[in-house]
Amino acid sequence: MVKMAIFYYSSTGTNYQLAQWAESAAKDAGAEVRVRKIKELAPEEAIAQNPAWKEHYEATKDVPEATNDDLDWADGFIFSVPTRFGNVPSQAKQFFDQAGGLWAEGKLVNKVVSAMTSAQNPHGGQEATTLNLYTTMFHWGAIIVGPGYTDPVTFAAGGNPYGISVSVDQDGNMIEDVEAAVKHQAKRTVEVTKKIAE
């Protein structure tokens, strides 16, 4: 049984939902799964100013935070993070930076990685965010697995071959229907991880 860690950062819940869909599919594909939230760095006074952010922050307090032990444990990773100016959020960047010790020991080599993202509009940096996340993974020596066009559900979800991405309106609602595509990407990631981890 391969070990899959699903890491997410989510301020208002979109990427948490993507992570939950990925968890369900990864388990269905036979993986042992850990879902871990990437630690929030924003001060609580900033969070309190946004009701949706505060509500999600409080609702997910019991979700375990991501650690280097989770990176070491897993055979593969799925990351789900929103875009920040076409890049990963600072919370995710700090998590990556803190993995320097594992990287130096070669413990991140040949881990299988896939990523998903969200933004307020389809051209708000979604592809750039996924590719920027993968840049770090190349440095780790990880093996990137995007969804590609391996199933028609990718087209139905907007057609991003690098990693499923979703647009979110001003009320926090997902615009595209991406659940099936997220589940396909997660199952594909597990399948490739099984081949690499053998």
Residue 63 vs residues 7, 99, 167: alpha-carbon distances, Å: 11, 20, 24
Give the pLDDT of residue 66.
98
The answer for residues whose C-beta is within 8 angstroms of residue 45's C-beta and 6 or more apart is none
The answer for residues whose C-beta is within 8 angstroms of residue 98's C-beta and 6 or more apart is 68
Give the pLDDT of residue 195.
96
Within its chain, how far is the Cα of 24 from the centroid? 14
Give the pLDDT of residue 99.
97
**Max intra-chain CA distance, the chain:** 48
Going residue by residue through the chain, which has 198 residues, state the pLDDT in tens, using 9 for 90 and above.
999 999 999 999 999 999 999 999 999 999 999 999 999 999 999 999 999 999 999 999 999 999 999 999 999 999 999 999 999 999 999 999 999 999 999 999 999 999 999 999 888 999 999 999 999 999 999 999 999 999 999 999 999 999 999 999 988 899 999 999 999 999 999 999 999 997
The model's pTM: 0.96
Residue 59 vs residues 79, 144, 150, 196: alpha-carbon distances, Å: 20, 32, 35, 36
Give the pLDDT of residue 101.
97
d(CA 20, CA 15): 9
Give the pLDDT of residue 1.
93
| Domains of the chain, first to last | 3-197 (3.40.50.360)
Give the pLDDT of residue 3.
98
Give the pLDDT of residue 144.
98
Give the pLDDT of residue 73.
98
Hey, what are 24's tokens?
């369900």
